[in-house]
Amino acid sequence: MAGSHPAVPGSLSGVIAPLFTAVHEDGSLDLGGSAELVRWLADTRSVDGVFARSGMGKMFTFTVDEARRLIASVVSDAAGRMHVLAGCAGEWLEQPTGRSADPARYTRQAIDLTKFAADAGADVAVHIIPYAIAADEGETELDVVLRYYEAVHEATSVPLALYQPGGVPKPYQLTPGLMARLLEMPRIMGLKLSTTDARVFGPIAEVCSMRPFGLICGHEGYYSKGLQQGSTGVIGGGCMLYPDLLQAVRKAHAAGDLDASARAQELVDEALHAVDGCDFVVATKQVAASVGYGVQPFDRSGAAPCDAGIIHGIKTTLERLRRKCAQAG
pLDDT digits (tens, 9 = 90+) for 309-318: 999 999 999 9
Judge contact between 111 and 151, C-beta under 8 A: yes
| Interhelix angle 258-272/243-254, nearest 10 degrees | 160
Residue type at position 229: Q
d(CA 301, CA 278): 13
Helix H or strand E segment including 193: strand 188-193
Query: 16-54, pLDDT tens digit by residue?
Result: 999 999 999 999 999 999 999 999 999 999 999 999 999
- The answer on pLDDT for 284 being more than 90 is yes
Domain extent listing, the chain: 10-255
232: Cα within 13 Å, side-chain hemisphere = 21
Phi (first) and psi of residue 93, to 5 degrees: 50, -120
CA atoms within 13 A on the CB side of 254: 10
Q: CA-CA-CA-CA torsion for 170, 171, 176, 180, nearest 10 degrees?
A: -140
DSSP annotation of 10 = G
Is the bond preceding 186 in cis, omega lying within 30 degrees of 0?
no
Tens of pLDDT, residue by residue over 109-122, are 999 999 999 999 99
User: 10-255: which CATH number, 3.20.20.70, 1.10.3720.10, 3.40.50.300, 3.90.79.10?
Assistant: 3.20.20.70
- What number of H helices and E strands is found in the chain? 12, 8
- If pLDDT is split at 50, 70 and 90, which confidence band does 96 have? low
